[in-house]
Amino acid sequence: AAQGARFSRVRIVDDPPTDGQRFLMAAASSNIAAGEDIRVLSRYVAETAGLPDYDFWLFDSRLVARFHIDETDTTVGIEITEDPADVLAACRARDTAWPLATPSATVWAQVRSSA
């Protein structure tokens, strides 16, 4: 971040957040302190907006890492692609999700106060 790199993510959470999602939100403070912009989006809004139902990372708007996660919430594989159609779909999902999401600190304050 100090060198001008941008690192951001949108985390989709249930309502109420699961214990695992609460843990990830609590652990996010060190990433935020390092310069990452983490935002949170409810699963309902994500589904309504037509966002993908799988987890992925997008690198420099040119490479997509799609995570394969089993029913126990364990990552069982990662698929890497530079296919233009997959990259475009990921860019569109990012561009749709970002303005709908709320900064992590705001959501975390609400979650902590309701616990």
DSSP letter for each residue of 17-85: PPHHHHHHHHHHHHHHHTT-EEEEEEHHHHHHTT--SS-EEEETTTEEEEEEE-TTS-EEEEEEE--HH
Distance of alpha carbon 106 from its chain centroid, rounded?
A: 16
- Distance, CA of 60 to CA of 57 (rounded, Å): 10
* Domain ranges (residues) in the chain: 8-107
Tokens (6 digits) for 53: 């139902």
- pLDDT tens per residue across all 115 residues of the chain: 678 777 899 999 888 888 888 888 878 778 888 888 899 999 999 999 999 999 999 999 999 999 998 888 789 999 999 999 999 999 999 999 999 999 887 877 676 655 5
pTM, to two decimals: 0.81
For residue 50, give both structure tokens. 């037509």
Residue 76 has φ and ψ, to the nearest 5°, of -110, -5
